[in-house]
C-alpha cells in the first residue's frame, strides 16, 4: 500500500496577498483559486516538480486561525534555490552547510516557514 502526501494546509491571514506571494513572487503554480460558494475560497499551489501541493483560503477550517507550519522541501542544489528565491525578490537565509545537508530558509508574511534542503551526497 502506498501512502502519498499530496496536500498540506497552511494558514494565511490575507488570501490575495498569499496568492501573490506564492504564485508571483515565489513562482509556484497556482493550481486552483476558486470560490465555490459564499464564505469558501480554496487556493492550491504547487512547487515545481513536487507531487505535494499546499492549500489555503477562507472557510476551510483545516487549521486553527493563526497557526503556522514549518515545511521542509528537498531541492537538488541549495545554492541554485537561494539564487532563485533572491532573483524573485524573496528574502531568504544564506545557505547553511550542516552534516545532514545544505539548507535555505524563507517565510511568508504569516510566519509559515519553509526550509529547502539539499540532501548530502550519499555516494
Domain boundaries defined on the chain: 7-118
Cα gap 63→4, rounded to integer Å: 20
- In this predicted structure, the answer to whether residue 13 has a pLDDT above a threshold of 90 is yes
Residue-level pLDDT at 50: 96
DSSP 22: I
Cα gap 102→78, rounded to integer Å: 6
Do the beta carbons of residue 65 and residue 11 sit within 8 Å? yes
78-93 pLDDT per residue, tens:
999 999 999 999 999 9
The mean per-residue pLDDT over the stretch 60-76 comes to 93
- In this predicted structure, the answer to whether residue 66 has a pLDDT above a threshold of 90 is no
Closest CA to 114 of 102, 123, 105, 101: 105
Cα gap 45→93, rounded to integer Å: 22
CATH domain 7-118 topology = 2,3-Dihydroxybiphenyl 1,2-Dioxygenase; domain 1 (3.10.180)
- In this predicted structure, the answer to whether residue 65 has a pLDDT above a threshold of 90 is no
Residue-level pLDDT at 69: 95
Residue-level pLDDT at 120: 92
Residue-level pLDDT at 121: 85
pLDDT interval class at 71 (50, 70, 90): very high
Cα gap 91→56, rounded to integer Å: 21
Residue-level pLDDT at 16: 98
Amino acid at each position: 500500500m502506498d501512502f502519498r502526501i499530496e496536500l498540506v494546509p497552511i494558514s494565511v491571514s490575507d488570501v490575495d496577498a498569499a496568492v501573490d506571494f506564492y504564485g508571483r513572487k515565489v513562482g509556484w503554480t497556482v493550481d486552483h483559486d476558486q470560490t465555490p460558494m459564499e464564505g469558501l475560497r480554496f487556493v492550491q499551489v504547487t512547487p515545481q516538480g513536487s507531487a505535494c501541493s499546499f492549500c489555503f483560503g477562507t472557510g476551510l477550517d483545516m487549521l486553527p486561525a493563526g497557526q503556522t507550519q514549518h515545511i521542509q522541501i528537498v531541492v537538488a542544489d541549495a545554492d541554485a534555490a537561494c539564487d532563485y528565491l533572491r532573483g524573485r525578490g524573496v528574502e531568504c537565509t544564506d545557505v547553511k552547510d550542516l552534516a545532514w545537508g545544505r539548507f535555505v530558509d524563507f517565510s511568508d508574511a504569516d510566519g509559515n516557514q519553509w526550509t529547502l534542503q539539499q540532501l548530502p551526497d550519499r555516494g
